Structure formats: structure tokens, C-alpha cells
Copies of this chain bind each other. A is one copy, B any other.
Amino acid sequence: MEENNIKQNILRFFEKSRGNYISGEEISNNLGMSRANIWKHINALRQEGYMIDAVPNIGYKLLMIPDKLQGYEIKNGLETSTMGQHIYYYDYITSTNDKAYELAENGAKEGTIIVAETQSGGKARLERKWISPLGGIYMSIILRPVVNIEEIPAVTLVSALSVSKTITSLYNLKAEIKWPNDIFINSQKICGILAEMKGHVDKVDFVILGIGININTAINDLPPNSTSIKTLTKNIANRVIFAREFLKQFESDYTQFINEGFKSLKNECAELSTLIGKKVNIKMHNTILSGLALGIDDKGALIIKNELGDMKRVLSGDVLMCR
């Protein structure tokens, strides 16, 4: 992390110089390290894709920042107190959730995130795979909520709400929540969420929230009925800004969830839900429940009125179709 801090400080210098050359001496004086050391880190940044010009007796100038989710890019200007304060970044990983699980078992703090440019074994619900081409954001967040186990299923909805609000505030697109863990824009999937957990039955040790979002992903790289921000806006989005904004929004929503309960967020979730007011078929274990989705309750369960007029609470299930 020390090395990443130096890189982050050098990048902040470039940011302050606003496109001007800055002397190696000035950087080395300010960071209290040798010019040779600065040179070493400049070269490391270049290997990560930063284009940095060097002119003898004048100094360095940052020409281009690569489109990467590097921790020091996300942290630069991150307005949170816990979420994303510790970042593990990978160009390539099998699964950010698996890495997060391992780190959490070894004591990683709440708010620690794992981000990757691509995953070979991205996980989705019901043992499905989450396709993870370049251009997306694949992020896992370690949470240590001090709540009863029965409050935990709502964590997925809280994060879905935060993703939806971030998309709307940055790109002015209406992102809807398909209960319990997907986000759709114009009936096409843009984000999936997978929450795993470990604990005692009466005390949660940790929850791993895995989030995959199609940002600059090419439409041809995605499964059918999916879309990406780039496809919808016809612009390359800044993924680092997305990550920062999402972390800020999620910290706010998650803190509200912990302090006031899911109850305080359920109306917002219901308003953004694709299912409420629709007839749905939900596969639960080995049965299929059909009925009208009436709303979401205080624990995040979907309330269904079946054909006999009975009310059913559904905490987990696979929505097969809705109309």
C-alpha cells in the first residue's frame, strides 16, 4: 500500500499542475524522497498505462490516464469514511467475491473493496456465471453489519437502490430494480448483485456484496437482453467516477439501513421496482408461486397475492416472467 500511496501522491501533483510540466525536484522535495525514487514510480505508472512525458531539465507531464479502476484513482477525491477506504485492485481475477471472502476471513475491515477489470469465474445467483468482459465494473464490498440475521436479505436491495440512484444521477437514465438483485434499463439488464455471507446463526461475521455493472462494455460481449451505459448514452463513461459516486451513495444508504432499518428505504425500492403491480411467476425451491406482486415488506420480502387471494411473503426466488 505504501507504494500505491506514492503513486497516488505523484498523480495528485500532476492533477494540480493542470497539464503543465512539473520538475522532478519539486515532486521529490514535496514527497521527501529521492529523485531516483520518483523516477522509479513514474516508470511503474507508465507500465500501468499512464502516458507520462519526461523532458530533461524541465520535468514530467501527464499526457493520458488509462481507463483503469486502480485503487489510487478511485481514492483520489473519494468522499466516504468507510466504503472504498481500502482497495484491492486486479487487472484479472477469477472472482472478486472469492477474494473478498478470503480477505474477510482474515479480518479485512468493513468497506474494503476488491475491484477487477475482468473475471474468469464471476459468480451470479443460483450457481450461474456472471460474464465479465472488459469495460465493466466488477466490485465486491466487505460488510460487517451488526444486525440480526433476518435483516440480511435486504442488503441486496439496499445496494441495488444505490446502483440505481448512481446511474440516474450520473447519466439521467431510469434504472429499475428487478427484485431481488438485478437492475434493468429499458427492460435490459445492466447490473447484477450477489451477496454471500458467513456467520453464526445469531451473529453475522461478514457479508460479501458482489456487484457487476456493464459500463463501457461492448454490447457484443454481453449475454442477450443486456445493455451497458456506453450503449445507452453512446459515450464512454468514466468508470472511476462511477465507482466513487456509487461508494458514496452506498455508504449513505447502508448507514441508513443499519441505523433505521430497511423499513426506511423500502418505499424508494418499491417505487423503482419492475415487479410491483405486475403478475409474476416465482420459482421457490421446487414450487412455483403465481400471483400479483403487491409490494416489499420491512425485511425486503416481496408480497404476493396469489389466485386464491392469500398473501404470501417471498424472501428468495427466481422470477420466471412477469407481465
Contacts and interface: CB of A to CB of B under 8 A. Distances in A.
Contacts of A149: 149-150, 152-153, 315-316
A146 B285 contact: yes
B201 A155 contact: yes
A198 B201 contact: no
B202 A156 contact: yes
A199 B201 contact: no
A77 to B, nearest CB: 31
A180 B207 contact: no
A254 to B, nearest CB: 14
How many copies of the chain does the oligomer comprise? 2
Interface in A149-163: 149-150, 152-153, 155-156
Nearest to A193: B201
Given A150-B150, A197-B198, A197-B201, 15 more contacts: A149-B150, A149-B316, A150-B153, A150-B315, A156-B201, A180-B202, A195-B201, A196-B198, A196-B201, A197-B197, A197-B200, A198-B198, A202-B315, A202-B317, A203-B316
A60 to B, nearest CB: 47
A78 to B, nearest CB: 26
Interface in A281-321: 285, 299, 315-317
A246 B87 CA distance: 48
Interface size class of A (residues with CB under 8 A): 20 to 34
B200 A125 contact: yes
11 contacts: A125-B200, A126-B203, A149-B153, A149-B316, A152-B201, A153-B202, A194-B200, A196-B198, A197-B199, A197-B201, A198-B198
A201 B301 CA distance: 12
A181 to B, nearest CB: 8
Interface of A: 125-126, 146, 148-150, 152-153, 155-156, 180, 194-203, 207, 285, 299, 315-317
Nearest to A150: B150
Nearest to A196: B200
A200 B203 CA distance: 15
A176 to B, nearest CB: 19
Contacts of A180: 202
B148 A316 contact: yes
Nearest to A317: B202
A299 B69 CA distance: 43
Listed residue (A126, A195, A200) with the most chain B CB atoms within 10 angstroms of its CB: A200
A153 B201 contact: yes
Contacts of A152: 149, 201
Contacts of A315: 148-150, 202
Contacts of A196: 198-201
Contacts of A195: 200-202
A317 B148 CA distance: 10
Contacts of A155: 201
